[in-house]
Amino acid sequence: LLVSSTGTGASSSSSSPLLLSVARGETVDRVPVWMMRQAGRHMNVYRDLVKKYPTFRQRSETPDVSRTISLQPLDRYGVDGVILFSDILTPLPAMGIDFDISEGGKIKIVPIQTREALEKRLRRVSKIDFRRECNFVGAVLEELSRGLVQSSPETTLIGFVGLPFTLASYLVEGKTGVGDNFPNIRKLMEENPDVLHAMLSLLADNIIHYACYQIESGAQIIQVFDSWAGHIDDEYYGLFCEPYQRRVVQGMKQQHPDTPIIIYMAPGPYSSGGRRLKALAETGVDIVSVDHTIDLSIARELLSDYDSVGLQGNLDPQLLRDGPMDEIRSRTLTILENIRGRKKCILNLGHGILPDTPEIHAECFVKTVQSFRN
Ligand code: CP3
């Protein structure tokens, strides 16, 4: 598949693509834009492919198919970042944990809730060869990287991983919809914290290794997702989420100090309104991805002690879905005005794009950002 458009002639002062330049703190003439979960569910061309390749694992683990889907939002909107079509669960089988995703997007994993199960099933990093067992991920990234350099050099290639707590919530619960209801992981926190710590530790080491594999295969930025950590109260967050976020970020930085890292947590009772922004900035990331429950200008104030940390965000995905277009345009312009002239800012949504979002709405968002001059 060919890449056809590169957005409105943005040129950065360096030879790096726009989004990567911004993430590194360089001054550019417009704000870069992409959308979380842009590859897949909301696009018509994606739904056509689903008919041909019915399971998510087929689509995400067949290099040609995954590459085609990754490029669809670039072809359609000229977004500034292409994200690998994959999932946070994709490296699990290489770690010894098989998973399945049904037609309706429901996750199935045989849950791990005891030390015996953990020791028997979750492999440690020294026993894992991602290069062999996730070779399709490296293959897609290498091809995307080569293709973008040739036909769309202004576009940045984004890789991603799930952080230990969010991954553990799937391992322990074994199913979808963990969001606000994870009874079994809460039980482990209270009754058997050592088992949970052992699981989080193994996941952290494995994820560092997997993220580095993505970087070595061509990913220029890595976004790390701790989507469900906003549902965990401060005490348990400090015990089970934060230390492992830091460990992953710092482990990646040790091996690839020049690859920018973006961190994201979904809105939840303990993260909404910017309550976890400082904690996220403290992990050592380059950019914090802000949800839509707070204005970016206020987020910037909350992070006044973290001047070197950039912001990504934060149009409400529901507004993007429902419109009207005038409102999408004016809300987007307000966000842009709020960050005007600031370094290290990336436009995105406050959470993933919703499946039933009309493509013309997404196009309106991207074009509004790309025609705004900083
Ligand atoms: O939404 C977030 O909070 C982002 C983090 C996240 C991803 N996957 C990243 C992703 C989370 C929490 C998941 C878990 C997951 N995996 C779910 C949510 C289930 C739940 O508990 O609510 C689902 C449905 C999957 C499986 C999956 N992942 C499918 C079926 C698809 C393709 C179609 C779709 O829904 O987009 C994905 C793609 C996916 N998951 C991407 C990312 C970053 C693809 C790249 C992109 O477009 O961003």
Report all structural domains of the chain as residue ranges with CATH numbers, in order of start: 18-370 (3.20.20.210)
**Alpha carbon 83 to chain centroid, angstroms:** 8
What confidence tier does 63 reach under pLDDT thresholds 50, 70, 90? very high
pTM over 0.90: yes
The CA distance from 292 to 138, in Å, is 33
Atom of ligand 1 nearest to the CA of 106: 24
User: What SS3 state is found at 143?
Assistant: helix
Atom of ligand 1 nearest to the CA of 39: 47
What confidence tier does 103 reach under pLDDT thresholds 50, 70, 90? confident
Which residue is closest in CA terms to ligand 1's atom 1?
Answer: 352
Helix and strand totals (H; E) in the chain = 17, 9
Reported ipTM: the value is 0.92
The binding-site residues of ligand 1, defined as CB within 6 angstroms of any ligand atom, are: 36-41, 56, 83, 85-89, 101, 105, 107, 160, 166, 176-179, 225, 227, 266, 352
Atom of ligand 1 nearest to the CA of 177: 21
- CA of 58 from ligand 1 middle (Å) equals 15
pLDDT for 35: 98
Strands 107-108 vs 100-101: parallel, antiparallel or unpaired: antiparallel
Which residue is closest in CA terms to ligand 1's atom 16?
Answer: 87
| Tens of pLDDT, residues 105-114 | 899 999 999 9
User: What SS3 state is found at 362?
Assistant: helix
- CA of 305 from ligand 1 middle (Å) equals 32
Region class of 316: left (phi > 0), else alpha (psi between -120 and 50), else beta: beta
- CA of 352 from ligand 1 middle (Å) equals 8
What confidence tier does 217 reach under pLDDT thresholds 50, 70, 90? very high
Q: Following CA atoms 68, 69, 70, 76 in sequence, which dihedral angle do they give, to the nearest 10 degrees?
A: 90
- CA of 353 from ligand 1 middle (Å) equals 10
Phi, psi of 287 (to 5 degrees): -140, 140
The CA distance from 43 to 56, in Å, is 15
Which residue is closest in CA terms to ligand 1's atom 34?
Answer: 41
The CA distance from 209 to 198, in Å, is 17
Cβ proximity of 350 and 316 under 8 Å: yes
| Tens of pLDDT, residues 252-293 | 999 999 999 999 999 999 999 999 999 999 999 999 999 999
- CA of 27 from ligand 1 middle (Å) equals 32
Residue 160 scores a pLDDT above 70? yes
- CA of 341 from ligand 1 middle (Å) equals 33
- CA of 159 from ligand 1 middle (Å) equals 13
**Which of 34, 37, 53 is the best mutation target for the ligand 1 pocket, counting ligand atoms within 8 Å of the beta carbon and taking the most?**
37
What confidence tier does 181 reach under pLDDT thresholds 50, 70, 90? confident
- CA of 157 from ligand 1 middle (Å) equals 18
- CA of 87 from ligand 1 middle (Å) equals 6
Tokens of 35: 């959308």
**Which of 86, 87, 158 is the best mutation target for the ligand 1 pocket, counting ligand atoms within 8 Å of the beta carbon and taking the most?**
87
| Tens of pLDDT, residues 39-48 | 999 999 999 9
Which residue is closest in CA terms to ligand 1's atom 24?
Answer: 105
Which residue is closest in CA terms to ligand 1's atom 23?
Answer: 105
Cβ proximity of 296 and 311 under 8 Å: yes
- CA of 152 from ligand 1 middle (Å) equals 26
